[in-house]
Amino acid sequence: MKTGIIQQHNTADIQDNRQRLAESIRSLAKQGAELIVLQELHNSLYFCQTENVDLFDLAETIPGPSTDFFGALARELQVVIVTSLFERRAPGLYHNTAVVLEKDGSIAGKYRKMHIPDDPAYYEKFYFTPGDLGFHPIQTSVGRLGVLVCWDQWYPEAARLMALQGADMLIYPTAIGYESSDTPDEQERQRMAWQTVQRGHAVANGLPVVTVNRTGHEPDPSKQTNGIQFWGTSFVAGPQGELLYEAPRDSETTAIIDVNLQRSEQVRRWWPFLRDRRIDHYDDIIKRFID
């Protein structure tokens, strides 16, 4: 399947961000992309660097303006698009939500981010209620998409539950970068750990992984930190963790990667991890910690 990715540097101009995404989507579709994946919270700056109640005004309903906008593109171009939106579910109730748009422009399904971080410059617990839709792949005309979001990518349980329900690939819209006070060595350890754990999900589940991060520097409005330098490095890994594509760290890019979904079947025959799971001895996994 020809899978398109868009790694973009966002600004405070939401309309410009969306228009540039639309241009990239059109370009990828013209090149034959069947599935196009966007980065986390792609319409705006990454607003979670501060806690500001006025920023809830960025949220929108689903369906709403963005699903209408990207749905129209999906319908016109006959592509499946994975979007990432700030969802206003009800007054005072908001989610970080991925929405998959089918080729006819309809909403194929959505996923609300389950694991919500709370770190300096990533104050997501202030904005997002943890997801309540569970871990379920979304059926589309191009396959069953195991869509998760950013912080979810550190959790093998999330990837496994998607795999056990027949996901054809794992997809992670992402917004992650460097803390400026960390040393270059520490920054590199973090970036490599981020990629390594996701390639591990590919291996453990015999599935391709598509991860799309943003790039560029975004300032901290409070000026308490030096802002976030997003590390780009969007990538696609095959079902043995092999890198099929890796984007640069510090520049915008679009790419089409031909992902062979049939390869997962063969890899799982060689490495039958699902067959050999000891499900009769995993009860303790649902405990917070085993004392």
% helix / strand / coil in the chain, to the nearest 5? 35, 25, 40
In a domain, 290, yes or no: no
What's residue 158's pLDDT? 98
For 207, list phi and psi in degrees, rounded to 5: -135, 150
What's residue 257's pLDDT? 98
In a domain, 178, yes or no: yes
In a domain, 161, yes or no: yes
* Sheet containing 235-237, strands listed edge to edge, beginning at the edge strand earlier in sequence: 138-140, 143-147, 169-173, 209-212, 235-237, 243-246
Inter-residue contact 235 to 153 (CB < 8 Å): no
Tokens of 189: 């350890």
Inter-residue contact 102 to 129 (CB < 8 Å): no
What's residue 92's pLDDT? 96
Q: Among candidates 135, 133, 130, which has minimal Cα distance to 145? A: 135
* Helix-then-strand count for the chain, H and E: 7, 15
What's residue 242's pLDDT? 98
Buried b (16+ CB within 10 A) or exposed e, 18-33: bebbeebbeebbeeeb
Show Cβ contacts of residue 180 under 8 Å, excluding neighbours closer than 6 positions.
225, 226, 227, 229
Q: Among candidates 228, 231, 227, which has minimal Cα distance to 215? A: 231
In a domain, 52, yes or no: yes
In a domain, 208, yes or no: yes
For 74, list phi and psi in degrees, rounded to 5: -60, -45
CATH of residue 34: 3.60.110.10
**Which parts of the chain have pLDDT scores under 50?**
none
Please identify every residue annotated as catalytic: 40, 113, 150
What's residue 212's pLDDT? 98
In a domain, 239, yes or no: yes
Inter-residue contact 64 to 89 (CB < 8 Å): no
Q: Which helix (H) or strand (E) holds 83?
A: strand 80-90
In a domain, 234, yes or no: yes
What's residue 181's pLDDT? 82
pLDDT digits (tens, 9 = 90+) for 132-170: 999 999 999 999 999 999 999 999 999 999 999 999 999
In a domain, 125, yes or no: yes
Inter-residue contact 84 to 40 (CB < 8 Å): yes
In this structure, what DSSP letter does residue 130 have?
P
Q: How many domains does the chain fold into?
A: 1
What's residue 182's pLDDT? 87
Residues of the domain holding 263: 2-276
